[in-house]
Structure 1
Amino acid sequence: MDLEEETVIIRRLPDEDLSMREVRISCPDATGLGVDIARMLLDFGLRILKGDISTDGSWCFLIFKVCLSSGVPPRWQLLKSRLEGICPKGTDTLQRLWRWRSVPKEQPPFLLQVAGYDRQGMLHSLSHALWESDTTVFKAHITTSPNGKVSDMFWLYDNRNELPESHRVLEICDRVKGALGPDTECTITPAPPDSLSAGTSASSKLLRKACKDVTSTSNLRRIVGSKKQLVGSSSEAALKDSFAGRQAEVEVTVDNETSPSHTMLTLRCRDRKGLLYDLFRSLKDMDLRVAYGKIEVYEEGMCEVDLFVQDVEGTRISDSELLQELIDRVRTAVALPVLISLKDSFDATCTELTISANIDSGGRGRPRVTFDVTQGLSAAGVGVFMADVYIEQPDLDAFGLPVVGGPQAQEVHRFLIHMPSGQPVSGDRDKKAIYDVVKAHLMGTSVQQQQLAATAAGSLYAATGGGGLSGAPFSSAASAPLPAGPGGEQQSNLLRALSGKWKGKVGGL
């Protein structure tokens, strides 16, 4: 096939690092396609360094310069295949026929049960194996018994729609056993309907689709109107970020002078992993369409994005209230994409780490959360003996739909963590250090990692009189090589500060 006729082209750039590629996509346009593409790039651990987006409303052309995050293996051919799978095909009548025939059937959920023995990094290895198997976990329950026996349950969708065929079951179980060991027990069965709603009512109600296949039920005008009716209500997010003293500096401006038919949205902030995904997700939630866009990441780590957007009627946004709502929603989505909470649990016998993130308009959670969190905890030597993943749905209106302008549905990842001795993580100083490591892995911000490593190492060392956290002396483990991971060298001082309290054999998932 001629390169010009290919939907997706991934090529190495001359004189560029091996970790960098140029991704070109040319296909029919669809509102929400940008979210799906940005989500896919994030799911593959890619950072967007530069981008150009152009569409005439029928056909779109996108170019991204991307690079692999630290520690992420290259899977360029698999990326090409999956991008081609989410792009619309055909033109005009054929495109409409494609949309009708490609309405995704409701994916049947399956229950994966895994039994084995505990070891350090087990949950992280298992998360990676399930990702490589092309499955999506939407609910999970992980437990570790006192004798070290692990019993895990994952409710998942097969992205290939091949389950429960025997060859597909064998493929997934082989990957799980390859990651955890040949003695691991693994079974896959259709998920019992009553298990889907156990503990939460949302899992059985939310349908998972690509954002391009979702018809929005809200827009900016409806959101603003509904918020006025909700003023004075007590509906607030139940989860709070433990250590977010102030949101990251995010500059958002709008301009209606540059184009007679588009509103120009400009975003300027520090670059991080998933930035474009969070931006496009918030625009899809408001049913706004991007006609043209330019993304640039500068050497000092700052990112600048210019987007020309239109409302559902194909016009620019002129109402001042709507413009302010647009600014506020984009700023929040970019500045605080996830909420991280640490607190004592079960009468302070363990520590609960909770990460929550808004789901997209297709009912899907944020990619790589479990993978990134377990990678950070594993690198820090923190044990996990219980974990849950579930969706919390907000209040519904009379038609069974989320209240427009109210709290959004969130995917919640809850981990019960402990030190190797079985003791909880004590003290705000220790919890803040774990918070920083987890957030650094979720955001993939090397600049942030350098700052937190230097700040934490200096302040904690001084606060403890040069003897580690809470006055505990450094053990010989502090000089041992640290596990590989994003910014491992940069966060070494931080992890050394923690290692004084985590002596002995490291356990946990």
Structure 2
Amino acid sequence: MGIPSDDVVQIRHADAAGEPTVVTVSCPDKTGLGCDLCRVVLLFGLSVVKGDMSTDGRWCYIVLWVLPRGGRPVAVPWDLLKDRLLQLCPVTPPFGFDNAYLAAAGLQDVAPPAPQLFLLKLCCLDRMGLLHDVTRVLCELELTIRRVKVSTTPDGSVLDLFFITDARELLHTKNRREETQDKLESVLGDSLTCCEIDPAGEDMLSCLQSWASLTPAIMEQMFNTNLIEEQSISTRGGTISVTMDNSLSTVHTLIQIQCGDHKGLLYDIMRTVKDCNIQISYGRFYASQNGRCEIDLFAVQSDGKKILDQHRQRALCYRLRMEVHRPLRVALVNRGPDTELLVANPVEVSGKGRPLVFYDITLALKNLQKRIFLVWLRLGGTLWKIGSGKSTDYTLVRSMSSRLPCGAGLWMQSPTC
């Protein structure tokens, strides 16, 4: 018999404006749970200002103090956040069994079936920030973009093809489709001439393939580890320090990180630890008001032993410094009259990319007054091409397979061209 869901995830709201909301999770433990929880928090537009987590290998207890990103008061769907966090928590095993026994018997963590794929087709008139406005609506509705093709005709008409999946798994219903169409119509207004949602097969994705050629010079600029290592020594947010100590605990290795804060920092750390197959027994995270963060992690290897191998220690410290310093890789490349902006971000071993990257890119383009006229997006070996208005602006976003970075590129000229 499991424990009530209200006891698994609890959300205590702040007593005064500007104070953090406290999110508490108490459930059976599983590898990578902290990373998965931080990913959802990031998806809901929240920043973690303080965190504590502990586990005995069977049961874990996690407390996160969160604020809306940027300190701006926003309407956070707390009930929906609670549901999404609850879905990540393992079910309490029946009396007389434990998670280790169920996992050995193959009765735990069964992978859910792949979500059904749908094709969203939009026909409308072009305007500034169109793609970001559509992307924002899809994010708010928990619709995941798998692939995109956007094309604009000389007369300013736009055809958008979005291959999407629904986190709520309700897009096959009439009510869910009508909800999506109504929200898109409310944002696009009279410029929207057609909005259709139909089931799509995986075979349809093959017709939207496009690939970008990244020259060795571009790859060197974006992924030169020696250069990134030198830059991480002193950054705008202050120095980055990642150390390990085996003298303070007889059973754990202490990993200490001191660095500047950035959007999704705790997620980047937890993702790296998860991908390196490191298990955290106790962790503490604190972000000060001066923009500095301190993280203490008492960790063990997957075999339950301390991290004693010097090579493994250096490799893990190096990887953490890279992800803390530059979770996104950015490069500017001249292509004749155009300037190409390339953005790459890492992918989890599970194949999931960093949340909201496409959303943030389209928002940045909108703020920079860049009109988008052509887009290719593909997830899992994928490509986004984005361009603007009558100029030759493009953005190219390529999401590669597991353990390889997702990438984005933007060709720009002034909007007056």
Q: Would you say same fold, with TM above 0.5?
A: yes
Distance 1:250 1:256, change over 3 A: same
Aligned to 1:305: 295
Q: Distance in 2 between matches of 1:110 and 1:186?
A: 13
More strand by share: 2
Q: Which amino acid aligns with 2:91?
A: K
C-alpha distance in 2, partners of 1:195/1:339? 31
Residue 198 of structure 1 deviates from its aligned partner by 4.7
Residues 86 and 118 from structure 1, CA distance in 2 versus in 1: closer, same or farther, beyond 3 angstroms? same
Bigger Cα displacement from structure 2, 101-110 vs 133-142: 101-110
Cα separation, partners in 2 of 1:73 and 1:341, compared to 1, 3 Å: farther
Aligned to 1:326: 316
Q: Is the 8 A contact 1:139 1:388 kept in 2?
A: yes
- Check 1:29–1:99 CA distance in 2 against 1; reply closer, same or farther (3 A cut): farther
- Confirm or deny that 1:195 pairs with 2:204: yes
Equivalent position of 2:135 in the other structure = 127
Q: Give 1:75 shift.
A: 2.4
Does 1:343 find its partner at 2:318?
A: no
Aligned to 1:364: 352
Could you tell me which residue of structure 2 aligns to residue 280 of structure 1? Answer: 270
Q: Which residue of 2 aligns with 1:162?
A: 170
Alignment deviations for residues 331-377 of structure 1 (CA, whole Å, 9 cap, x no partner): 111111111233344x53x4433322111122111111122222222
Q: Paired residue for 2:33?
A: 33
Question: Could you report, residue by residue, the CA deviation over 1:290-344 in whole angstroms, capped at 9, with x for unpaired residues?
Answer: 1100001112110000001111111111010010011011111111111123334
Please give the alpha-carbon distance, in whole angstroms, between the structure 1 residues aligned to 2:362 and 2:341: 11
Amino acid corresponding to residue 10 of structure 1 in structure 2 = I
The answer as to whether partners of 1:27 and 1:88 remain within 8 angstroms in 2 is yes
Aligned partner of 2:395 in structure 1 is none
2:88 aligns with 86
In structure 2, how many angstroms separate the alpha carbons of the residues matched to 1:45 and 1:323?
33
Structure 2 residue 362 is the aligned partner of structure 1 residue 374: yes
Q: Would the alpha carbon gap of residues 342 and 407 (structure 1) be closer, same or farther in structure 2, given more than 3 Å must change? A: farther
Q: Kindly state the Cα deviation for residue 99 of structure 1 after the two structures are TM-superposed.
A: 5.6
Match of 2:398 in 1: none
Q: Which residue of 1 aligns with 2:397?
A: none
Given residue 370 of structure 2, which amino acid in structure 1 is its aligned partner?
V
Is residue 293 from structure 1 mapped to residue 283 from structure 2 by the alignment? yes
Pairing 1:12-411 to 2, within 5 Å after superposition: 12-14=13-15, 16-18=16-18, 20-70=20-70, 71=72, 72-91=74-93, 93=97, 96=102, 100=108, 102-181=110-189, 183-198=192-207, 237=219, 240=222, 246-247=231-232, 248=235, 249-345=239-335, 347-348=336-337, 350-391=338-379, 393=381, 408-411=403-406
Shift of 1:262: 1.2
- Aligned AA (1:286): C
Distance 2:174 2:341 in 1: 37
In structure 2, relative to structure 1, the CA distance for the partners of 1:339 and 1:143 (3 Å cut) is: farther
Offset of residue 133 of structure 1: 1.2
Q: Say how many residue pairs are matched.
A: 377
SS in 2 for 1:181: helix
Task: Indicate if the aligned counterparts of 1:241 and 1:340 stay in contact, CA closer than 8 A.
Answer: no
Question: Secondary structure of the residue that 2:231 maps to in structure 1?
Answer: coil
Over the aligned positions, Cα root-mean-square deviation in angstroms equals 3.2
* CA positional deviation for 1:9: 1.2
CA distance in 2, matches of 1:311, 1:4: 31
Q: Which amino acid aligns with 1:37?
A: L
Q: 1:412 to 1:108 in 2, by over 3 A?
A: farther
Instruction: Give a deviation string over 1:52-84, Cα, whole Å, max 9, x none.
Output: 001111111111111101355422222112111
Contact 2:31 2:279 in 1 (8 A): yes
SS at match of 2:138: helix
* Contact 1:108–1:157, Cα closer than 8 Å, also in 2: yes
Query: 1:484-509 deviations in whole A, cap 9, x for unaligned?
Result: xxxxxxxxxxxxxxxxxxxxxxxxxx
SS at the partner of 2:14? coil
Which amino acid in structure 2 is aligned with residue 240 of structure 1? M
The CA distance in 2 between the partners of 1:277 and 1:255, in whole Å, is 23
Any stretches of 5+ residues in structure 1 without a counterpart?
Answer: 203-233, 395-405, 424-509
CA distance in 1, matches of 2:198, 2:85: 29
Residues 351 and 403, structure 2, Cα contact 8 Å, conserved in 1: no
Residues 150-171 of structure 1 show CA distances to partners (whole Å, capped at 9, x for unaligned) of 1112222211122322222222
Task: Render the CA deviation track for 1:384-432: whole Å, top value 9, x for unaligned.
Answer: 22233334659xxxxxxxxxxx9932223344544332x2xxxxxxxxx
Identity rate of aligned residues, in percent? 32
- What letter corresponds to residue 352 of structure 2 in structure 1? R
2:351–2:402: 8 Å Cα contact kept in structure 1?
no
Asked if the contact 1:177–1:184 (Cα under 8 Å) also holds between the matched residues in 2, the reply is no
Per-residue deviation, 1:237: 4.7
Residue aligned with 2:258, SS: strand
Which residue is 2:385 aligned to?
none
